[in-house]
Amino acid sequence: MRVHKVRPDISALSDSLEVPGIGHLPVNAFVLHASQPVVVDTGLGLPDRNFLETLAAVLDPADVRWIWLTHPDRDHTGGIFDLLDAAPQARVVTTFAGAGIMSCERPLPLDRVHLLNPGQSLDVGDRTLTGFRPPLFDNPATVGFFDDRSGTCFSSDCFGGPMPAAELAQADDVREVPVEDLRAAQLLWASVDSPWVQVVDPVKFLDSFQPLRDGAPELILSTHLPAARGIAGTMMDTLGSAAGASPFVGPDQAALEQMLAGFEPAGGHPAVPS
């Protein structure tokens, strides 16, 4: 993971995951250095990631007061229980559905949960965070938020896009990516992560962008994109065109067998399916 400041009061804990045939998907968590510090998501749930150790590079985990879980998928919850153990004052901000989904694997302690729905706000001392439902999402518990002090929108999966290389996936600014490449990546991710967009009513879909337009964020921080400064309007235009897009179709069994045929396992013998 790469740790860097996107603003003086916001740190990014940037990671990525290579997805064959798609690219390198950014996977970000964030630290909002408010007077009551907020951690936004907790990274990948892979055994070689140590989220707590990475977090400690920018903030003593014991000082964390809030863990804003934008939704309970495994690329957002990797370090959540370790962080709860290390941060005795921290509470998890999620929805009723989010807490319920988490309980299917390992329940959140309910006395450490703060339920918040889109449209509701959380006072974290020196700023107010207001939840909203992003236009694109892959989980019914998704809640992003606007930070009224920094003018930043935390958009969860929305606006994500796979990058051609790991270095770009963990870049400081998404403007390092050519405009047309970014557009193609975001439309691809829309079809992968939110396949329902192919059947959505175009008018209602465009209406769902209104909270973002009203908020006019200078900075958008997505779980699956490098920091996006000053291009919110352009990115909204891109995603607004996704209604009716053809769904993503992944590799089938024949493609999988072809990939496995060229794979050299630890023993040195090609893995050829029978």
Kindly report the pTM of this predicted structure: 0.92
Task: State residue 1's pLDDT score.
Answer: 87
Mean pLDDT for the chain overall:
93
Do the domain assignments include residue 234?
yes
Domain that includes residue 17, residue range: 2-259
Do the domain assignments include residue 264?
no
Task: State residue 274's pLDDT score.
Answer: 43
Do the domain assignments include residue 268?
no
Do the domain assignments include residue 270?
no
The structural domain count of the chain equals 1
Output the six-digit token pair for 147. Answer: 């930070």
Report yes or no: 137 and 157 within 8 Å, Cβ to Cβ: yes
**What pLDDT digit, counting tens, does each position of 83-119 carry?**
999 999 999 999 999 999 999 989 999 999 999 999 9
> Which residues, 6+ apart, have CB-to-CB distance to 260 below 8 Å?
271, 272, 273
Do the domain assignments include residue 79?
yes
Task: State residue 269's pLDDT score.
Answer: 52
> Which residues, 6+ apart, have CB-to-CB distance to 120 below 8 Å?
130, 131
Task: State residue 273's pLDDT score.
Answer: 44
Do the domain assignments include residue 8?
yes
Task: State residue 63's pLDDT score.
Answer: 98
Do the domain assignments include residue 139?
yes
d(CA 32, CA 11): 7
| pLDDT of residue 38 exceeding 80 | yes
Residue 272: what residue type?
Answer: V
Task: Give SS3 for 197.
Answer: helix
Report yes or no: 31 and 38 within 8 Å, Cβ to Cβ: yes
Confidence of residue 9 (pLDDT cuts 50, 70, 90): very high
**What pLDDT digit, counting tens, does each position of 125-168 carry?**
999 999 999 999 999 999 999 999 999 999 999 999 999 999 99
Task: State residue 272's pLDDT score.
Answer: 47
Q: What integer is the mean pLDDT of 177-188?
A: 96
CATH number for the domain spanning 52: value is 3.60.15.10
Length of the chain measured in residues: 274
Percent pLDDT > 90 in the chain is: 86
Task: State residue 265's pLDDT score.
Answer: 63
| pLDDT of residue 209 exceeding 90 | yes
**What pLDDT digit, counting tens, does each position of 67-80 carry?**
999 999 999 999 99
**What pLDDT digit, counting tens, does each position of 235-271 carry?**
999 999 999 988 899 889 998 898 888 766 655 555 5
Task: State residue 247's pLDDT score.
Answer: 85
Do the domain assignments include residue 274?
no
